[in-house]
Every structure is written in C-alpha cells, then in structure tokens.
C-alpha cells in the first residue's frame, strides 16, 4: 500500500511550534515509508482566516527543511488542496447522506440552540442537540431547505459503540449514546471540519492519519461519517500535545510559539527539529542528537509517547549550542551573516568563528561577542581595575603591555601570550589580573573570546590605541 499522509492546518495564524512537531512526525512517517506528504489548507472557518498563515507555513517549513509533495502551490493529483475551493464536493457529499437517510436538514436558529444549551446546563443534563429537526419528514424538509437557511446534521444512532485501534493509544472506544447529531454542513454552505476532513482524507487517498491528540475526541464522529459513506477509516495516530509550563496546550500566552520567532532569535533549524522530535518520542537508546535524516532513519511511530510533553526552552537552547558547534566553520559563518551588520568585514567575521562557536547557543549572540572588532569601545575605569589592585598599579600594567606589544614583531596570539605572561611574572601578578585589565581595555567588557586571539584579530594599531586610552582613563 502506498503511504500518503497529510498535515492540514487551518490558516488562522502563523505557523506554530506545536503544529510543527505534528507535521514533523507526518514528514518522518512519509519519508521512511517512501510515501507522499500532502499539505491541505482547512479554511472552512471563514471568520478566522489570517492572510499571514499560508506564507508562514511555507517559509517556516522551508527553513526547517521539511518538504512535502502536494499542496496548494505545488498542485498534485487531488487538487485543489484548499478546502474553500472544494465546496461543491462537500455539498454533494452532504446531500448524498441526506438522500440516503443518514443525515437531515436542520432549521433551528442559533437562538434556539443557545437557549436549549442553557436549559440543559441549568438542569445539569448533557448539552447536546435535541434532534428537533430530525422529526421533520424528508419531503417537507427538502422543500423548506430550498428557501430557508439550514444546516445538515448527521443522524447518530442511539445505541452501539465505535472504536479504533490508535497507533499511539491502542484500543479506544465510545458509546454512541454520548455523541450528538453533528453538524456536517453549515448555513453558509461550508462544511464543518468533521465532514471536510473525512471527505478529503478519503478522496485524497490518505493512508494514515497522524494528528494531535486534541482530535481524539472527534474520532467517533469521523468513524460514523466514514461508515455512512461506506468508506474504510484509515489507521490513525493521535500524538501527544506539546504543553506549556502550566501543563495546558501550548499557546501564545506561554511566550514565543511562532516558528518565525525562533528563527529570529537565532535558533538553528536543526536544533528546533531535533528538540521538537524529542518531545513525545525517544529512540530507546541514549542517543539524542539527531539531524532530520537521522530522524527519518530512526523515528518510529510505535515509540511515540502517550503523555503530553512540556515545552522546555532551556533544553532547546542547549540543542541550539550543540548544533552550532556541529556546523562546519564556513557554514556557521554563512548562517551568521543575516544576524550581523552588513558593513562588518566578513573576512574578519570569518576569522572569529573558531573562538566564538563554543560560546553561543543562538546566532544572535555572536554580534555582541565580536562587536569590539568593528567599533570603538569605551572601557569603564571600574571594570579595568581588578579587585585587589589599585588604579595606579593597573595603569602601570597597561603601560607595560603597550610597551611589550609594540615591541613585538608579529602580533600572533602565541606572541601576545608570551608577552602578557612575562608582564605578570615581572609584576608578580596573577595572570588573570593582568589579562583582565588588558581585556577590558581592549574589548570594553569582562567576558568575551580568548584574549590573545582577540588581540591578534584586533591588530597592533587598534590594540595599542585602546590600551593608551585605558591608560589615560586610569590616570584620571
């Protein structure tokens, strides 16, 4: 059997990190089964459309390296892939169910429904449709439907049960008595999610449904629709939710959730993919650093966790650092490019890579680390002087540094090291005290890349003038 899976976002907002985890699992499943991945846009809720949604899906997934085979822009054998362009299809199928006697027209107003619900709540009854319109005889209903606003509802049997063998959760069963006569087609002629998803998954020959656990509760509705059409329901996997720190479904109020935000923050896509794959899945070994290709090879749907997993930025950041360190130097330089001012000399930037790659977890962190090479620095006197040293002593040390460095033939880091070590020895200072004074003088801050390399990168002229400036500052 040909594997065909899909991801079916509703375009109500920008691409979300939780969606990506589910999309990723679909992608991995498709890849490892030599199957196809389909993007289908479920825009049946006209009120919530967001024009930014589609571009952000394309941008975000492209950035992450997750590709698919059929979709609204790429087309495919089952086009169109946007539900609002398939309305006739749903209407025809809804009509078929009405004709078969498996569905019926409902003319109840929003007001009546609200009232009904309120009454049921007051009586602490199950809140569900009372099947008022189910009693209208079909001929009359058809006549009224020609001129009155209406929806189409599914006739749910009074008794019996439906069940699935979920690929993640195993056997799950529902009593039909707990399920209401679901709306299939709305007054505006658009299908509800439930009708559209079943019709499309069947028509698009989707072989496996892999989606978030929030959909598990609607499975019985879908099974009933499959049954009414006489279609087999494909195997399903309801994967655990990505949760916020409070244990609820991850959402905007928990902080950054848009893929674009992580990109802007300087996370490597490799890190995001790696981290996300591990929320809800583990290989059963102690390996944990995986590229997308590694994941294709190793991920298995039967290893997917049942419980939801909390979003942990600390761990994501750690993966950020892991993947930055794994990047070849030239590649890291290339990735850094958009995060640095365009006027900074790229050959200088390239030279800093070896000393910054172990110090950053996000691409955005590089800028501050090497800024001293591209602009002036203004050291504060307080920072220049080590705890147990006086300003005067420090001034002397800096003066000596100036002397040594200007006497040096070449300013490579080895020579700088020897020079500064000699100063410390002569002065009887700890190396750290000498170096800290020089570091602050030359870079303006107490933390940064290794000093000797930093001075080499800076060059003699600028190093000396910055030392001179510091000396002046200390002189008061």
Tell which positions 314-333 bind RNA, by CB under 7 A: 314-315, 317-318, 321-322, 325
Measured from the CB atom, the residue of 240 and 269 that comes closer to RNA is: 240
Burial letters for 71-80: b for 16+ Cβ neighbours within 10 Å, e otherwise? bbeeebebee
Of the pair 282, 377, the CB lying nearest RNA is at 282
User: Using the rule CB under 7 A, is 229 a contact of RNA?
Assistant: no
Stretch that binds RNA, among 88-96, 246-254, 382-390, 401-409 (CB under 7 A): 246-254
Quick check: 75 binds RNA (CB under 7 A)? Answer: no
With binding defined as CB under 7 A, does residue 126 bind RNA? yes
Size of the site for RNA (CB under 7 A): 88
Is 64 a binding residue for RNA by CB under 7 A? The answer is no
Q: Which is nearer to RNA, 383 or 399 (CB)?
A: 383
Find the binding residues for RNA in span 167-226 (CB under 7 A). Answer: 169-170, 172-175, 178, 183, 186-188, 190, 192-193, 213-218
Contact status: 406 vs RNA (CB under 7 A): no
Asked if 352 and 337 count as a contact pair (C-beta separation under 8 A), the reply is no
Active-site residue (options: 110, 155, 249, 252):
252
Work out the number of other CB atoms within 10 angstroms of the CB of residue 418: 13
Contact criterion met (CB below 8 Å) for 460 and 410: no
- Per the listing, tokens 């890579």 go with 353
- How far apart CA 94 and CA 152 sit, in angstroms, is 7
DSSP letter (8 states) at residue 401: H
Q: What is the bridge-based pairing of β-strands 151-154 and 183-185? A: antiparallel
Question: Minimal distance in Å, beta carbon 57 to RNA?
Answer: 13
Spatial distance between the Cα atoms of 212 and 304, rounded to a whole number of angstroms: 12
Q: How far is the CB of 22 from RNA (least distance, A)?
A: 12
The smaller minimum CB distance to RNA, of residues 191 and 269, is found at: 191
- Is 252 catalytic? The answer is yes
Using CA atoms, how far apart are residues 59 and 259, in angstroms rounded to an integer?
A: 9
Q: What length is written for the chain?
A: 476
Binding piece for RNA, criterion CB under 7 A, among 50-58, 223-231, 257-265, 308-316: 308-316
For 36, phi then psi, to 5°, come to -110, 145
Q: Which of residues 261-290 bind RNA (CB under 7 A)?
A: 278-282, 284, 286, 288
Q: Does 115 participate in binding RNA (rule CB under 7 A)?
A: no
CB of 147 to RNA, least distance (A): 15
* Long-range residue pairs from 387-393, CB within 8 A, at least 24 positions apart, any chain: 388/433, 389/429, 389/433, 389/437, 391/474, 391/476, 392/474
Within residues 149-178, the interface with RNA by CB under 7 A covers 149, 151, 169-170, 172-175, 178
- Catalogue the active-site residues: 252
């Amino acid at each position: 059997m040909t594997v065909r899976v899909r991801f079916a976002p509703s375009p109500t907002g920008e691409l979300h990190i939780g969606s990506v985890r589910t999309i990723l699992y679909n992608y991995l499943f498709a890849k490892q089964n030599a199957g196809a991945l389909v993007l289908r846009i479920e825009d049946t809720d006209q009120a919530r459309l967001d024009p930014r949604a589609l571009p952000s899906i394309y941008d975000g997934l492209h950035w992450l390296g997750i590709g698919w085979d059929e979709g609204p822009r790429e087309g495919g054998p089952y086009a169109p892939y946007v539900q609002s362009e398939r309305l006739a299809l749903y209407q025809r199928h809804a009509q078929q169910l009405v004709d078969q006697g498996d569905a019926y027209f409902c003319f109840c107003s929003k007001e009546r429904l609200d009232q009904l619900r309120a009454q049921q709540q007051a009586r602490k009854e199950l809140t569900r449709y009372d099947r008022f319109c189910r009693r209208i005889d079909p001929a009359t209903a058809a006549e009224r439907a020609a001129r009155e606003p209406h929806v189409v509802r599914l006739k749910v049997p009074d008794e019996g049960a439906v069940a699935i063998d979920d690929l993640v959760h195993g056997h799950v069963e529902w009593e039909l008595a707990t399920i209401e006569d679901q709306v299939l087609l709305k007054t505006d002629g658009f299908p509800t999610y439930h009708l559209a998803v079943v019709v499309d998954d069947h028509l698009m020959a989707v072989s496996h449904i892999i989606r978030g656990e929030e959909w598990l509760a609607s499975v019985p509705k879908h099974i009933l629709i499959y049954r009414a059409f006489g279609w087999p329901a494909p195997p399903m996997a309801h994967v655990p939710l990505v949760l916020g720190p409070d244990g609820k479904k991850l959402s905007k109020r928990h902080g950054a959730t848009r893929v674009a935000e992580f990109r802007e923050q300087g996370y490597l896509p490799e890190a995001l993919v790696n981290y996300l794959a591990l929320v809800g899945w583990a290989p059963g070994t102690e390996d944990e650093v995986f590229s997308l290709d590694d994941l294709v090879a190793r991920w298995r749907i039967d290893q997917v966790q049942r419980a939801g997993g909390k979003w942990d930025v600390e761990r994501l950041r750690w993966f950020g650092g892991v993947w930055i360190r794994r990047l070849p130097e030239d590649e890291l330089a290339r990735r850094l490019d958009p995060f640095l001012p365009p006027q900074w000399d790229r050959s200088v930037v390239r030279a800093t890579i070896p000393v910054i790659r172990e110090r950053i977890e996000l691409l955005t962190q590089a800028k501050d680390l090497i800024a001293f090479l591209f602009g002036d620095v203004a050291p504060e006197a307080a920072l220049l002087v080590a705890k147990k040293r006086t300003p005067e002593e420090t001034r002397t040390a800096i003066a000596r540094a100036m002397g040594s460095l200007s006497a040096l033939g070449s300013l490579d880091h080895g020579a700088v090291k020897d020079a500064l070590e000699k100063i410390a020895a002569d002065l009887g200072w700890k190396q750290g005290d000498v170096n800290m004074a020089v570091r602050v003088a030359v870079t303006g801050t107490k933390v940064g890349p290794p000093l000797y390399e930093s001075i080499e990168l800076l060059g003699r002229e600028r190093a000396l003038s910055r030392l001179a400036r510091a000396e002046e500052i200390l002189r008061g």
